[in-house]
Amino acid sequence: MNKNIIIRDLGSKDYKETWDFQTEILDGIVSLKREKRNEDTEIVTPNHFLFVEHPHVYTLGKSGDISNLLLNEEQLKEKEATFYKINRGGDITYHGPGQIVGYPIIDLENFFTDIHKYLRLLEEAIILTIAEYGLKGDRSEGETGVWLDVETPFARKICAMGIRASRWVTMHGFALNVNVNLGYFDNIIPCGIRGKAVTSMEVELGKKVSEAEVKQKILKHFKELFQVEEFIVE
């Protein structure tokens, strides 16, 4: 089993281009697994982790409700935002500048074959990361992601998650609100959940936060939780 992960920081990149890039990586890993299985030889598959920041974009998961997007095509143009219906789980969310998006494209057969555990460990990596800034993140029963004050009337989401897996290879991932403009969330019903707000690290801490520093903390906790042997930065 290969427990090394290749890390790439794509900087600011168009959503569709990144989606296509993820798909290319996933398809390559799945093809390798098929090929090796047919040859009945040992399978050694690569693992990847992409960091990216997207220009303003709204994405709707495969089970999502389009009515949760509160903008028409003309209003999207006015907001300089795009919209895509995509193949991850979950409903609608927003990506934009100041948000750290992480896309682990890993073969879970290198780690463990449990999608539920995978999602919980992704959440835990974010919970441990924001805890280093004095923020107490929690899970909300039945709702994937990381929340603050989840058991109060002031519950607010700080990190959204949605994934897809094919032959135990994952894609898509998480979006942590660091210094993001929260006004763009007013144009959707985030994750299809009414009555709960969205927040950011900047809002909670009252100051801008170093995104580079947050990424390093995420990787530190991801490495520990997934028992990664080595990160290979490309």
The tokens describing 27, both together, are 């398809």
Contact 86, 62 (CB under 8 A): yes
Residues near 87 by beta carbon (within 8 Å), at least 6 away in sequence: 62, 164
Q: Which residues are annotated as a binding site for substrate?
A: 88-95, 160-162, 173-175
Told to judge if 159 belongs to the known catalytic residues of this protein, a careful annotator would answer no
Task: State the catalytic residue, choosing from 171, 191, 209, 219.
Answer: 191
Task: Give 5's strand partners.
Answer: 231
Distance CA 48, CA 20 (A): 15
DSSP assignment, residue 86?
-
**What are 83's strand-pairing partners?**
58
**Coil, helix or strand at residue 69:** strand
Cβ distance 25 to 189 under 8 Å? no
Annotated binding site: 88-95, 160-162, 173-175
Tell me the catalytic residues. Answer: 191
